[in-house]
């Protein structure tokens, strides 16, 4: 099979090019780091090489050559196209589910053997090529998972999932994956009439605890990430948002073991902004990585579009920079084409444009952060708390009584001050 992308060369950095990076230059140094190391871009396998363009009203629109058969030969042809695309787009990372890269076998053992065979194939291609940002297991597509993965009423499904995650984590470990993701695809419910919510959350907590134990047992040093989402596919997902997941982690004593993979579209579905989720994860010390995309604000489902709103992306990276930037995480494009975008070059253009949007957003965020204007305004707003009597109120030993007495003795009469929101928004607008 000749290359799916014809003879496309790696994209140049060219501010006037048609198919080029106009704003993203991997070598450009911003805040002391190369842009490639700041953004840590990854391409996902599933939306690009597996999804066939179907929607609830119609089937396949894409005709990728490797859709011809669900066998190992086609799985390798798919891998060839995927790595060709990684090369053209010059991304340092990729991500995959087991189900994306190998046909399912007749037994668990056969499925795992196939996964390992593909991992060998990847390993050879990864020698000078992209690294693995994260691996994960698809425990939501096959009908056996329809009532849940670890939260399933059938304990055999729970055991099946243990085998699946073990195999996927082993492969992620072997390929040097920097993170392992758990997105709770079917970990939720459709109706409370048939659901024992308390039991299901207990199962999920036990499962996650054992996944963490297994990670330590095999000496895997990557980060375990949970990806929250409030709904879809189930009506209510247990991993609703960052705050909910934090409570869950605390309950099972896992708050120092697991971090968050936050997706723009999932934040929107939860009724939050992306920057809210990022700031919340930083505040709780559990920020890990991002799935970059954009959600349609009217639709109410997960549209997984490529990002194209620079001011929004800038605010997201601003929060990431405030938290110190990425460590093991990165910017994974969990984004898909619209189903009419049939041409191979659409895949390339979509990512190149998204990388440019992220680069512009990141550079704006970096300037905003380095100039420190917003941080200075924030510090000024809370300056009263630097006074010793203010600090004393938060210290051990302070009592409501003592504080109340002091407020009355000093006849305190606090005067409101402006929150200056529009002035701050104007400042942001100077950067984006
Ligand atoms: C689905 C999720 C999924 C995860 C990986 O909405 O975003 O793609 O990122 O399982
Ligand atoms: Ni995602
Ligand atoms: Ni998603």
Look up residue 289 and give its two tokens: 């990585």
pLDDT of 359 reads 99
User: 365 and 421: one domain?
Assistant: no
Is 97 an annotated catalytic residue? Answer: yes
Alpha carbon nearest to ligand 1 atom 6, residue: 302
- Taking the chain (432 residues) in runs of 10, the rounded mean pLDDT of each run is 88 97 98 98 98 97 98 98 98 98 98 98 96 98 98 98 98 98 98 98 98 98 98 97 98 98 98 98 98 95 97 98 98 98 98 98 98 98 97 98 97 98 98 97
Is 276 an annotated catalytic residue? Answer: no
pLDDT of 357 reads 98
pLDDT of 246 reads 99
User: 402 and 285: one domain?
Assistant: no
Burial of 113 (0-12, 13-18, 19+ CB in 10 A): middle
pLDDT of 128 reads 86
Domain-located, residue 336: yes
Report yes or no: 368 and 374 within 8 Å, Cβ to Cβ: yes
**Cα 334 to averaged position of ligand 2 atoms, centre (Å):** 5
Would you give the DSSP letter of residue 168?
H
Among the bound ligands, the one closest to the CA of 47: 1
- How far is it, in rounded angstroms, from Cα 157 to Cα 135? 21
> Could you tell me the CATH number of the domain that includes residue 322?
3.20.20.150
Report yes or no: 82 and 134 within 8 Å, Cβ to Cβ: no
Structural domains counted in the chain: 2
DSSP string, 97-152: EHHHHS---SSHHHHHHHHHHHHHHHHHHTSSSPEEEEEE---SSSGGGTT-STT-
- How far is it, in rounded angstroms, from Cα 43 to Cα 291? 10
User: 213 and 341: one domain?
Assistant: yes
Domain-located, residue 383: no
Alpha carbon nearest to ligand 1 atom 7, residue: 334
Lookup result for tokens 């009724």: 271
- How far is it, in rounded angstroms, from Cα 48 to Cα 66? 12
pLDDT of 26 reads 98
Look up residue 401 and give its two tokens: 């009584």
Report yes or no: 21 and 310 within 8 Å, Cβ to Cβ: no
User: 45 and 118: one domain?
Assistant: yes
**Cα 234 to averaged position of ligand 3 atoms, centre (Å):** 13
Q: Ligand 1: does its nearest atom lie under 6 Å from the Cβ of 263?
A: yes
**Cα 300 to averaged position of ligand 3 atoms, centre (Å):** 13
User: 352 and 420: one domain?
Assistant: no
Q: Tell me if residue 13 falls in helix, strand or coil.
A: strand
Report yes or no: 148 and 187 within 8 Å, Cβ to Cβ: yes
Alpha carbon nearest to ligand 1 atom 3, residue: 183
């Amino acid at each position: 099979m000749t290359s799916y992308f014809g003879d496309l060369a790696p994209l140049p950095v060219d501010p006037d090019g048609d198919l080029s990076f106009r704003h993203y230059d991997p070598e450009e140094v911003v805040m002391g780091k190369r842009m490639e190391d700041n953004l840590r871009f990854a391409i996902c396998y599933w939306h690009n090489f597996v999804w066939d363009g179907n929607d609830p009203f119609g089937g396949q629109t894409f005709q990728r050559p490797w859709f011809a058969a669900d066998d190992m030969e086609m799985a390798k042809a798919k891998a060839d196209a995927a790595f060709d695309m990684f090369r053209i787009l010059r991304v340092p990372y990729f991500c995959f589910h087991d189900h994306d890269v190998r046909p399912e076998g007749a037994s668990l053992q056969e499925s795992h053997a196939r996964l390992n065979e593909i991992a060998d194939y990847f390993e050879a291609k990864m020698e000078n090529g992209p690294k693995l940002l994260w691996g994960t297991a698809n425990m939501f597509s096959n009908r056996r998972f329809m009532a849940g993965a670890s939260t399933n009423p059938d304990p055999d499904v729970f055991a099946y999932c243990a085998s699946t995650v073990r195999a996927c984590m082993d492969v992620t470990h072997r390929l040097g994956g920097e993170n392992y993701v758990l997105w709770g695809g079917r970990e939720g419910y459709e109706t409370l009439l048939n659901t024992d919510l308390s039991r299901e959350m207990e199962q999920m907590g036990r499962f996650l605890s054992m996944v963490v134990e297994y990670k330590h047992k095999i000496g895997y040093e990557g980060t375990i990430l949970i990806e929250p989402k409030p709904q879809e596919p189930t009506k209510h997902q247990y991993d609703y948002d960052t705050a909910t997941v934090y409570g869950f982690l605390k309950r099972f004593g896992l708050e120092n073991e697991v971090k968050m993979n936050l997706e723009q579209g999932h934040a929107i579905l939860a009724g939050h902004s992306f920057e809210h989720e990022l700031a919340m994860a930083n505040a709780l010390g559990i920020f890990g990585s991002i799935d970059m995309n954009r959600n349609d604000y009217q639709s109410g489902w997960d549209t997984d579009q490529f990002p194209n709103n620079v001011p929004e992306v800038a605010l997201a990276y601003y929060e990431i920079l405030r938290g110190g930037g990425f460590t093991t995480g990165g910017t994974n494009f969990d984004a898909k084409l619209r189903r009419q975008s049939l041409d191979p070059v659409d895949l390339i253009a979509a990512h190149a444009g998204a990388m440019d949007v992220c680069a512009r957003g990141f550079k704006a965020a970096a300037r905003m952060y380095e100039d420190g204007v917003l941080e200075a305004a924030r510090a000024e707003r809370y300056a009263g708390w630097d006074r010793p009597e203010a600090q004393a109120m938060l210290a051990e030993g302070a009592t409501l009584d003592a504080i109340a007495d002091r407020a009355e003795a000093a006849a305190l009469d606090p005067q409101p001050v402006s929150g200056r929101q529009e002035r701050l928004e104007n400042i942001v607008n100077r950067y984006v």
